[in-house]
Structure 1
Amino acid sequence: MWSRRAFGQKLIGALLDRGPSLLRGMPGMLSAGFIARPRGGVRRRAEGRALVHGQWRDFALDQPFRVASISKMVAATGFMSLVTQGRVDLDADVSVYLGETLRHPAFPDISITPRMLLSHTSGLRNGADFPVPFNRSLLGRLREAAREDNYGGWLAPASERPSHWFSYSDTNFAVLAQIIERVTGGRFDRFMREMLFEPLGLDVGYNWSGVSQRKRARAAAACEWQDGAWRPQVDAAPPRAPEIVFYRGENNDAAAEANYSIGLNGFAFAPQGGLRASVADLDRLARFYLDRARAGDGALTQMTSPAWVFDPAAPNGDTLNGFYQAFGLGVQTPLARPAQHGLRSDAYFGADSVSWRGHLGDAYGWMTGLFWNARENATLVWAINGMPETDRPPGARSALSSPEEAVIDAGLAALR
């Protein structure tokens, strides 16, 4: 086994760009890879192992996996197409689109808007029983939560006013997906496929929706080291095409695609983290964003402009120890602030972090990133598998982990 793996790694090294070992700089990780595109060129690296349908193989850049919260930025891109078409107003009350009133019970006079959802300033949270299972009403659960102690964890405390206070929450994007369905009259997954994935020639999809069997056969499971072994957390055995994965919850006999109710529960296709794509697919998306940025696309300009900025003198959000210090509309907008006020820095890319736009991902062992730099005409995407849920090795310069900083540094070196 080990000699065959060594041969495979040697062969991969011949096909990809050579350089110092990625995994040597991130001990304890299962695999890592990146694609960096400097002006007119491309650099690729992949190392480690992947669990593919129960078999250990070399990790490859064309293996699809659950890309985590990069999914949010991609969903935001779909949503902004409706804004561009004039079908949605960023500053309108979302109740108009949802067909039901959505308010924070402590702030009944403040309308929750799409802009608040996209920038995580809506006052919505991930509840104690997050997410809402398939074909159960999301707004119904939020109404119930409004009558529970501490709002069941689904809504911010009364000290955190919507539109003012930032708190990163998956629920915002479930509501956005629900608005997409209510406005278009179709399913979120199909909307994303027709609006973005098919035009870009991408064989990707939320919760495996629309992904070919050929692509699914290469799926890499999310893994974590538990009890002395690598154990799959997600996608150990993806369903055969065209089946879709749904979070069904307990005793949910109606959890079948044929029973899906459009506009009832935006969590169904996991817009917050359920996109399945490969590093190579992320690279294609990064080039798409870079091209739009350099063309001055209006919707992307709105997305990449900070809609919320942390104020250390009068705290107005949960930065997660400095990880979030500014946020656009579905896009992370690092400011490269130094460590201060007891917070770590958001200089993910070093001093030039302010020129980078994109989104990070973190779920089930996968750590991912999709970023572009319009000033330098460059893109960088990456994935790391095997990150533990707790006790993560801290980064040297930022609120990221040291393995994330290591893969970013390798990518930045490849861009030079």
Structure 2
Amino acid sequence: MEARHLASLLGELADTHAVPGAQLAVYTGAETVSAVAGFECYGEPRAVDPRTPFAYGSVSKVFAATLVLQLVSDGDLELDEPVCEVLAEFRDPADARLASITPRQLLSHTSGLVADHELDDPDERSLLRYATSVARLPLLDRPGNSFSYSNTGYNILGRLVEEVTALKWRDALQDFLLRPLGVDPYIDHSPERPARPLAKGHAVRPGQRAARPVEQFLPPTWTPAGGLNGSAEELISLARLHLGTDPRTAALLEDEQRAEMRTAVAGADAFGMADAWALGLGHYGSADNRWLGHDGTVDGGTAHLRFHPESGVAVALTTNATTGSSLWPAVVGELRTLGIHVGDYEPGVPAPHPAASAADPRDLEPLVGDYGNGDTVFSIRRHHDGIRLSDRTGLVADVTVQDSLNFTARRIDTDAAPYTGRFVRDGGTGAIALLQLAGRCAKRIHAAA
């Protein structure tokens, strides 16, 4: 694979999808080929280079999970021992079931914790105080019963790391993983400023090409779940650790723990996100072409990581726009034409539900209502002849429903790929009980008035 051809490909696709700047890195099993396109900020002259840090968002969780498995490898943690054995704040929780949560459940999003718990003080930095607050919350579901994507759970893993290592989260991550691996991602809320200017995030409105810079804010207590910023090449370094092709692999992560991270967890049905879920890694693609990795979405940016244990190939893409979510599948498609059959989650875009027509709008009424997951409340309301989804953060999306009750939700404010979800009926009553969106479960609170 030629770097020049990869750069031309990325440049054309980034332009098509109105992405101001991007990095693409491909590890072929023998070498890493990199390409960059565009600018760090729309309308400014500083071009993206291979070292420009982009926000990783939730791809940061792969680093967090790797660090936890390092501690397991060292004998400092047990995957199936309740975290209350380490964290005193979980020993007398408001919901008694919380005391049984294990690291394996936190890593696989099967802990039952709410998705996105935030503290009242947005500047709070203490993971101890964060964990104490989480211990006062009710669970969404009993631990181990179902998959529901949880940033909260990964922030608790950060607290667990602090208690085991007697170090602050960022120091433990740097000392145990980042520096030994030879990478230098910038960690949000670090005392020092990043040595390399960060790529600015952008929103792109539907039908427009102009990109609007947006602020990227992450609460300090969410750093374990999504607080790393780095390059696509640095993501390839992490992938090579998991592939076992990095010369430092033996010293950093034993084969047993690498295999453990790749193994799908029973009951971790990651509908809307991936084909299965393991410990910090999603499974993507068919059973005979299974890739591992993670996706990340932040305010005005995306990141994507995939690696294939059988062939030893890895791919990473970073972008500084909401439209990075549509650039990624385009990149995947072009790489497949080059013989790199990257695995990706492809739930398909549903055809409109018959109730979307004005002829019989009553079929949509059972779906209308509010659905809650901790502090997050999704509202489904009638809009013209269909339904629209919104939440308290300003998300507004038009919903297209199938007869199967699967749906897509396409945002009205940015030109980004649609979210995938489904409505789930109660097994006893047949009434709509859950909304699953992008891997998160939300319980039906009440029907709309």
Structure-1-length-normalised TM-score: 0.69
* Cα distance between partner residues in 2 of 1:104 and 1:175: 14
How far off is 1:193 after superposition? Answer: 0.7
Look up the match of 2:60. 71
* Cα distance between partner residues in 2 of 1:190 and 1:20: 35
Mark the runs of 5 or more structure 1 residues left unpaired by the alignment. 1-12, 147-154, 236-244, 248-266, 311-316, 338-350, 393-400
* Cα distance between partner residues in 2 of 1:387 and 1:193: 29
* Cα distance between partner residues in 2 of 1:110 and 1:188: 22
Mark the runs of 5 or more structure 2 residues left unpaired by the alignment. 341-449
Answer 1 or 2: which has greater strand percent: 2
Match of 2:130 among 135, 138, 142: 138
- Change beyond 3 A, Cα 1:48–1:384: same
* Cα distance between partner residues in 1 of 2:84 and 2:181: 32
Look up the match of 2:17. 27
Look up the match of 2:327. 403
SS at match of 2:233: helix
Q: Is the 8 A contact 1:37 1:415 kept in 2?
A: no
Match of 2:284 among 334, 338, 341: 334
Q: CA RMSD in A?
A: 3.3
Number of residue equivalences: 328
SS at match of 2:317: strand
Look up the match of 1:50. 40
- 1:297 corresponds to which letter in structure 2? D
SS at match of 2:234: helix
- Change beyond 3 A, Cα 1:185–1:70: same
- Change beyond 3 A, Cα 1:46–1:369: same
Q: Does 1:377 align with 2:327?
A: no
- Change beyond 3 A, Cα 1:68–1:246: closer
* Cα distance between partner residues in 2 of 1:115 and 1:131: 28
* Cα distance between partner residues in 2 of 1:26 and 1:92: 49
- 1:271 corresponds to which letter in structure 2? P
Look up the match of 1:196. 177
How far off is 1:140 after superposition? Answer: 2.9
Structure-2-length-normalised TM-score: 0.64
* Cα distance between partner residues in 1 of 2:165 and 2:225: 19
* Cα distance between partner residues in 2 of 1:69 and 1:164: 23
Match of 1:209 among 174, 187, 190: 190
* Cα distance between partner residues in 2 of 1:102 and 1:406: 48
Look up the match of 2:397. none
* Cα distance between partner residues in 2 of 1:299 and 1:207: 27
Look up the match of 2:88. 99
| Residues 132-176 of structure 1: per-residue CA shift (max 9 Å, x gap) | 741461233224434xxxxxxxx31xxx33201100010111000
Look up the match of 1:289. 242
- 2:200 corresponds to which letter in structure 1? A
Look up the match of 2:271. 319
How far off is 1:127 after superposition? Answer: 4.5
* Cα distance between partner residues in 2 of 1:309 and 1:190: 34
Matches within 5 A, 1:7-406: 17-19=7-9, 21-23=11-13, 26-51=16-41, 55-101=44-90, 108=97, 111-127=100-116, 129=118, 133=122, 134-135=124-125, 137-146=129-138, 155-156=139-140, 160-207=141-188, 209=190, 213-215=194-196, 218-225=197-204, 229-234=210-215, 247=219, 268=221, 270-291=223-244, 297-309=255-267, 319-320=271-272, 323-334=273-284, 336=286, 352=289, 354=290, 356-387=291-322, 402-406=326-330
- Change beyond 3 A, Cα 1:105–1:176: same
* Cα distance between partner residues in 2 of 1:234 and 1:142: 27
Look up the match of 2:420. none
- Change beyond 3 A, Cα 1:102–1:365: farther
How far off is 1:66 after superposition? Answer: 1.3
Q: Which has the higher contact order (CA 8 A, sep 6+)?
A: 1
- Change beyond 3 A, Cα 1:210–1:128: closer
